[in-house]
Amino acid sequence: MIDQLLASLRHYADVRQDEIKKGIHSKQFATSLVQSYAESMANALTIVGKDTYINTIQHEADRLCKQIDSDFEAKVSLHKAIDNEHPAFTHFEPKSNAQAKQNNRQRLAG
């Protein structure tokens, strides 16, 4: 599993580097996208009980971001973000269909 996740993270970073070369993104924005992608992976790993892989994802994301932008400095550890209930790591709890329909009715009426 970790090999597939790392390959996916590397591919994602490679695409961001190509977009920088094309002038689509700045280096800073590209690194924020890579970090966000890594945070999403960490969140998923936590949900499935594989949070032992988070440090590996963190180190690879930091390495890739440093490769994209030599001025990059990691600001938040993925574990710390999870421990502090960073918005990226809040657990999704689906609403029932009845609740969703009621919320939609209220939103449309308001």
| Residue 67: Cβ within 10 Å count | 15
Provide the mean pLDDT of the chain: 81
**Geometric angle at alpha carbon 14, from 12 and 20, rounded to 5°:** 105
pLDDT of 88: 45
How far is residue 110's CA from residue 105's CA, in Å, rounded to a whole number?
9
How far is residue 37's CA from residue 30's CA, in Å, rounded to a whole number?
11
- For 92, the 3-state DSSP assignment is coil
Could you give the C-alpha distances from 40 to 25, 35, 59, 80, 98, in angstroms and in order? 20, 9, 15, 14, 29
What is the four-CA torsion angle of 96, 98, 102, 105, rounded to 10 degrees?
A: 110
What's the whole-model pTM score?
0.68
Inter-residue contact 57 to 6 (CB < 8 Å): yes
Note the pLDDT tens digit of each residue in 54-78. Answer: 999 999 999 999 999 999 987 766 6
